[in-house]
Structure 1
Amino acid sequence: MTDAPWSHDLPWPDDLPPFDPFDPAIQADPYRHYAWLRAHAPVVRAGRADARLYLVSRYDDVLAGLKDATAFVSTPPGGAIIPGLLLMLDPPLHGPMRQTISRAFSPRAVNAIEDAVRTLVATHWDRFLASGGGDAAAGFATPLTMGVIATVLGITIDDAARMRDWTNSAVDFIATRIRGVVNPDASVDSYAAMRAFMADAMDRAAADRAAGRGRDTVIDALAALRDEDALTADEADGFACLLFMAGHETTTLLSVNCLDQLARDPAALWWLRAGGSPAAFVDEMLRHRPSVHRVTRYAARATTIAGCAVPAGAPVRFLIASANRDAARFPDPDRFDPDRRGAPHAGFGFGMHICMGSWLARLELRLMLAHIAATTATIAANGRRVPVEGGAFATSGLTRLDLSVTRRSA
């Protein structure tokens, strides 16, 4: 057993600066760094000396860590548990809460959502197509994903836009509470406003249900669970906030990644048109270019990963995007291949915290790709590409992608 090396002490190649999880230039395209780490230092330390992070890059180590909810927990020592934030709960609280919340996604509600998502995809892509393209993030992916999450929750598009404005500062506040640290820039106001909005929406849903006007939405379902005491009020509105915060940004980035792949590789569009499975395309995109690149856990006790010592309480970042490119599990891992078979990827995480909304993201992307293949002749890059910056390297992708698109002839 040895101490994990510091990233800046390693003999990096001359054309590859030491991996820094806070460097926006690396965040834009970290895959060469990931490959070097997997080959030479599968566990490294990074960050400040007084706030070190342990970074884990190989597939087997990442999946083993995410599966072991006793050795690696979601809430750090001294951190706060925020009601309804399922991602931050550990056993024994996590299982019953997840099982209860899953009741909000009834088969009838899911079927109704599919029809609504199909309509939203057609509306937003046909408008983008008619304009000949533009910024695919602002002009298509963002309004589509906002429309989908608004439909699922049962709120208006205007309300969803207001919620989106609160999201960044709300996420900052949640992160500081969970870690038990003080951040003067993280205000409780936005998160409190989000929760108050969700609580009010549930009150209105409960009143409508009592008047015989109930709907098959997540807000309605959570209100019912709250009112039958299956969830506390804090848990219900906390989960609704989590679903919104987690449900729009990552799916928007995945949508843009799919469009970027179609623009960079015209054969991919032909593959879809020739009968290739949109679901398989989505699955390969989740492996090849997921929007979420790492998952943080905390060592519940002193342990080892790949022969390196990890002290109790240490934050461990499992680099799921690196695991997805591990040649030990995925032959020719840097090639996008929607016909790929083999090991399961970690694009939605792994273990008990695997993304609860993964079905919705898959549905939206599958219907999007099917409609694009049916209606679109060409997709080409045409201008700016602006990568994500910030967010402590949690996400990677493009916040702007300029495209030219043409319609298929009838």
Structure 2
Amino acid sequence: MDVDQILSGLYSEAGRQDPYPWYAALHEHGPISTIPNRPEHSTVSAVAVGYDLVDQVLRDPEWYKQAPPGWQDQEILRTFQSSMMFVNPPDHGRMRGVFARTFTPRRLGALEPVIVRVVDTLLDRMADAGADGGEVDFVADFAYPVPALVMAEFIGLPESELAWYRQRVDWIDEFLDVAGKTPQRLALANQAAEELRAWYRDLIAHRRNHPGEDLISGLVEALDSGDVDLTEEELISNLIVLFNASFVTTVYMFSNGLPVLLAHPDTVAALPGDEPLAQGCVDEVLRLESPVHFLARAAPRDTVLGGVPVARDENVLLIIAGANRDPHRFPEPERFDPRRDGPPSLAFGVGPHFCLGSAVSRLEGRIGLPRLFARFPRLAVSQPADYSGSLFLRGIDKLFVNTGG
């Protein structure tokens, strides 16, 4: 099977539901492959699945994120291009430094009791909903609200507005998919960005008059004092992108991971009270079922990458989920092994754009999963999982379970 056939299969409905056989087929062609018959006007000239090569490009600050054409004309793209996740140096470092100061060990430690409280409250609700054998949607009742409620408290978002917020996040995520660039999805993403920007402006104004202990209050104070090199509009863009990225990946860490873990009952039984095992399970779930499947980087100059020529300003598609199953770095890559040795997964990226919220996400997993199985040792999936169908953010959107209570 040639690369064009593999990519066609990957973009098919079957590929969207299970892309891993297609990633394995790409590995047979080597760590990187030229895209021989790319669409007209496409700037993506190669696709990479090799762990070492993907890691190398992500660590190299010269390989840059290329802004899409016409981005100035769309609200959602203007929001992206004024946030640290999408900009390049020196603006990236300037913005990231402001937020990096807030993700301190002290602040992370202060989140532990918040996570415990949120998790236990949601487990109580699951127990009530699952009484007498009733089905529970694990995503709606646990995987989504855990990170959403934790980040809401961390950032300072009112819990009562999370449902409204989630709808706008969903519109943005749908636009981000490779098949999401339709006029309808662009219009909804623009609407989401406009409404979220107005919402954050109101929240920032409120925090100026009524500051608290949350992240936004601290950032507004630093902004108004002149201690940080950041505009209010850049602050808003980063809050939109930060909140979206921080909890969507955690939702899929939980929902993608549950069927994997339940297929290993001995591991599930040992999880409560075994902190190293809990950490290993989180890491292995993120490797095996990465929420983010690909990133792209543009070449700073004409170069040769893994033996493949890449022209200046052309993009290489970096398949994160494929690199995390590279058989040269992970023996038996499809096997779940929470005590696996080897390099860390690339699920949260690496290098200059390494996900700032990764420590929070991992902490939520290390706390949430053992408490989930301690409370529901007979938890079982009751219906086939419903995957998002996205190739960018791949995850289970609905997962009905019986709690065994």
1:148 to 147, 150, 170: 150
- 1:225 CA displacement: 2.4
In structure 2, distance between residues paired with 1:259 and 1:323: 22
Q: Compared with structure 1, are the counterparts of its residues 192 and 156 closer, same or farther at alpha carbon in structure 2 (3 Å cutoff)?
A: same
Partner of 1:8: 4
Q: Which amino acid aligns with 1:386?
A: D
CA distance, structure 2, for counterparts of residue 321 and residue 152 of structure 1: 29
Q: Under a length normalisation based on structure 2, what TM-score does the superposition of the two structures give?
A: 0.87
Q: Name structure 2 gaps, 5 residues minimum.
A: 73-77
Q: Deviations over 1:32-62 (max 9, x none)?
A: 1111211225324275243253321111111
Quote the offset at 1:73 in angstroms: 0.5
Hey, what does 2:64 align to over in structure 1?
Answer: 73
In 1, the alpha carbon distance for the partners of 2:273 and 2:366 equals: 15
| Structure 1: gaps (5+ residues) | 10-16
Looking at structure 1, the residues matched to 157 and 379 of structure 2 have their Cα atoms a distance apart, in angstroms, of: 33
CA distance in 1: counterparts of 2:273 and 2:210, whole angstroms = 47
* Structure 2 residue corresponding to 1:102, chosen from 93, 96, 100: 100
Could you say which residue in structure 2 is the equivalent of 1:26? 15
Q: Which has the larger displacement, 73-82 or 380-389? A: 73-82
8 Å contact kept, 1:84–1:237: no
1:260 paired with 2:293, answer no
Once the two structures are superposed, residues 208-245 of structure 1 have per-residue CA deviations (whole angstroms, 9 ceiling, x without a partner) of 13xxxx22x12112212221231210111111111121
TM-score for both structures, normalised by structure 1: 0.86
Q: Which has the higher strand share?
A: 1
Which stretch shows the higher mean deviation, 286-295 or 242-251? 242-251
Task: Report the CA distance shift for 1:388/1:172 in structure 2 as closer, same or farther (over 3 A).
Answer: closer
* Corresponding position of 2:47: 55
Q: Point out the more displaced range, 29-38 or 44-53.
A: 44-53
Tell me how large the CA RMSD over aligned residues is.
2.6
| AA in 1 matched with 2:217 | D
Higher deviation after alignment, 256-265 or 57-66: 256-265
Deviation at 1:109, TM superposition (A): 3.4
The alignment partner of 1:137 has SS state of helix
Which of 33, 36, 59 aligns to 1:43? It is: 33
More divergent stretch after superposition (340-349 vs 372-381): 372-381
**Partner residue of 2:75?**
none
Residues 126 and 382 (structure 1), Cα distance of their counterparts in 2 relative to 1, 3 Å cut:
same
- Residue matched to 1:12: none
Cα shift readout 1:280-324 (whole Å, capped 9, x = no counterpart)? 210111111111111122223222222112222223211111111
| Alignment equivalent of 1:227, drawn from 224, 227, 233 | 224
Query: In 2 relative to 1, CA 143–342 (structure 1 residues): closer, same or farther, beyond 3 Å?
Result: same
Q: Secondary structure at the match of 2:66?
A: coil
- What is the number of residues matched between the two proteins? 384
In the TM superposition, residue 171 of structure 1 has moved relative to its aligned partner by: 5.3
| Alpha-carbon distance in 2 for matches of 1:191, 1:172 | 13
Q: State the distance in 2 between where 1:298 and 1:125 align.
A: 45
Distance in structure 2 (CA, Å) of the matches to 1:338 and 1:138:
26
Q: CA deviation at 1:97?
A: 1.8
Q: Which amino acid aligns with 2:304?
A: T
Correspondence list, 1:158-169, <5 A? 158-169=160-171
DSSP-derived class of the 2:218 partner: helix
- Where in structure 2 are the equivalents of 1:270-285 lying within 5 Å? 270-273=269-272, 275=274, 277-285=277-285
Q: Does 1:354 align with 2:344?
A: no
Q: What SS is found at the alignment partner of 2:210?
A: helix
